[in-house]
Amino acid sequence: MAIESSCDDTGVAVLRGNEVLSNLVANQKVHSRFGGVVPELASRAHQSNIIPTVTLALEDAGVSPNDIDAVAYTNGPGLSGSLLVGASFAKSWAWANGIPTIPIHHMRAHILAHFIHDTESPSFPFLCLTVSGGHTQIVRVDSPSEMEVIGSTLDDAAGEAFDKVAKLIGLPYPGGPIIDKYSKFGYCNRFIFNHSKVDGLNLSFSGFKTQVLRFLQKILSENKDFFSEGNEQNLYDFCASVQHTIIEMLMDKLIQASSKTGIIDIAIAGGVSANSGLRNALEKMAQSDGWKIYIPPLRYCTDNAAMVGMVGVFDFEDKKFGKLSDVPSPRLPDLRQSVE
């Protein structure tokens, strides 16, 4: 059984090997009116959700607690209170049932989600662009336990950039999927935003957000009805231009990473993998440069417990068990150290 509680989703899954028997996520609606996740509300919601979600996940999988061999749980990185709820529950439940725990690095789980039985798995080595609301990394993956972050955002994550821009124009949280939806009706070259210049394979989105803020201040001071009813095309063009810039920044670095490493097996993970612009850009690289691309189903892209269970299966085979005294860490070291 696996438990994921790093942010605002309470996930519980049951796996037999790499086959997913059940995979439930209790979403927390409470945050949408605040324009972002409120950590204290998230940990309270995890507390109320965890027991019913475990009960339903076992029921859905058609198994009883006695059938479970180990409990894998996310021990970081993430929100401290949220992690604490999942970790405390996982350790207590495992202890009460006399089985081991397996603490799991959340980012490693996003990457190894590609090995769940109903997804197409890349061969090693591959590159994984992990893009979510909390993380943006390019990882070189040599095996389930050998991975290295070769590029990373220096500030905001890509999903955060989508959400913050959406918030600036009054869209509800999370704004990423809404920007994606509106982009489909817009012209992406109507507004031109500059890429943030960062050395090597690293990225930065905070300058981009400031640039968009200045643009909005200017355009709304000239016409306060710029996004009002009747001017939908402006909204669509703005969203398309924002999305185009974010995706271009990501793709630039991914292309550099591929040519630097010579690796053309490219996987994506995390909530932003749902983005249609990113998917199209990857498809184009597959056609033009022969990239082999791996995009897992959405249920394994956004935060979920099946991906945590998948790492649990690898680590169970290697007998990498946790201790009752393990404490989850909001700022776990990078992937390389965590899997050594």
Is residue 303 a contact point for Zn ion (CB under 5 A)?
Answer: yes
Residues 77-96 that bind ligand KG4 (CB under 6 A): none
- Residue 77 interacts, among Zn ion, ligand KG4, none and using kind-specific CB cut-offs from 5 to 8 Å, with none
- Residue 76 interacts, among ligand KG4, Zn ion, none and using kind-specific CB cut-offs from 5 to 8 Å, with none
Question: Is the Cβ of residue 22 or residue 132 nearer to Zn ion in the bound state?
Answer: 132
Torsion sign, CA atoms 60, 62, 66, 71: negative
Question: Is the Cβ of residue 137 or residue 275 nearer to ligand KG4 in the bound state?
Answer: 275
Find the part of the chain contacting ligand KG4 (CB under 6 A) among 51-59, 67-75, 121-129, 269-277.
Answer: 269-277
Q: Which two tokens stand for residue 109?
A: 């789980």
CB distance 159 to 270 below 8 Å: yes
Is residue 270 a contact point for ligand KG4 (CB under 6 A)?
Answer: yes
- Residue 186 interacts, among Zn ion, ligand KG4, none and using kind-specific CB cut-offs from 5 to 8 Å, with none
Is residue 5 a contact point for Zn ion (CB under 5 A)?
Answer: no
- Residue 133 interacts, among ligand KG4, Zn ion, none and using kind-specific CB cut-offs from 5 to 8 Å, with ligand KG4
Give the Cα separation of 232 and 234 in Å (integer): 5
291: helix, strand or coil: coil
Is residue 119 a contact point for Zn ion (CB under 5 A)?
Answer: no
Residues 27-46 that bind Zn ion (CB under 5 A): none
Q: Which two tokens stand for residue 233?
A: 């095309």
CB distance 241 to 193 below 8 Å: yes
**CB 25, min distance to ligand KG4, A:** 9
Residues 109-128 that bind ligand KG4 (CB under 6 A): none
Number of residues this chain uses to bind ligand KG4 (CB under 6 A): 19
Closest CA to 324 of 80, 68, 4, 88: 88
Question: Is the Cβ of residue 94 or residue 171 nearer to ligand KG4 in the bound state?
Answer: 171
Q: Count CB neighbours of 336 within 10 A.
A: 14
**CB 162, min distance to ligand KG4, A:** 5
Is residue 76 a contact point for ligand KG4 (CB under 6 A)?
Answer: no
State which amino acid sits at residue 164.
K
Of the residues 134, 296, 312, 328, which one makes contact with ligand KG4 according to CB under 6 A: 134
Residues 165-204 that bind Zn ion (CB under 5 A): none
Give the Cα separation of 130 and 121 in Å (integer): 16
**CB 311, min distance to Zn ion, A:** 13
Question: Cα dist. 99→3, 71, 313, 322, 323 in Å?
Answer: 15, 8, 14, 11, 11
Residue 136's φ and ψ, nearest 5 degrees, are -145, 110
**CB 270, min distance to Zn ion, A:** 6
Is residue 304 a contact point for Zn ion (CB under 5 A)?
Answer: no
Residue 117's φ and ψ, nearest 5 degrees, are -60, -35
Closest CA to 152 of 170, 139, 166: 139
Question: Cα dist. 9→49, 89, 241, 286, 308 in Å?
Answer: 9, 15, 30, 33, 13
Find the part of the chain contacting Zn ion (CB under 5 A) among 127-135, 211-219, 243-251, 283-291.
Answer: 127-135
Please report, as ranges, the residues that interact with ligand KG4 according to CB under 6 A.
7, 132-134, 159, 162-163, 174-177, 180, 270-272, 274-275, 302-303
The residues of the shown chain that bind Zn ion, judged by CB under 5 A, are 132, 303
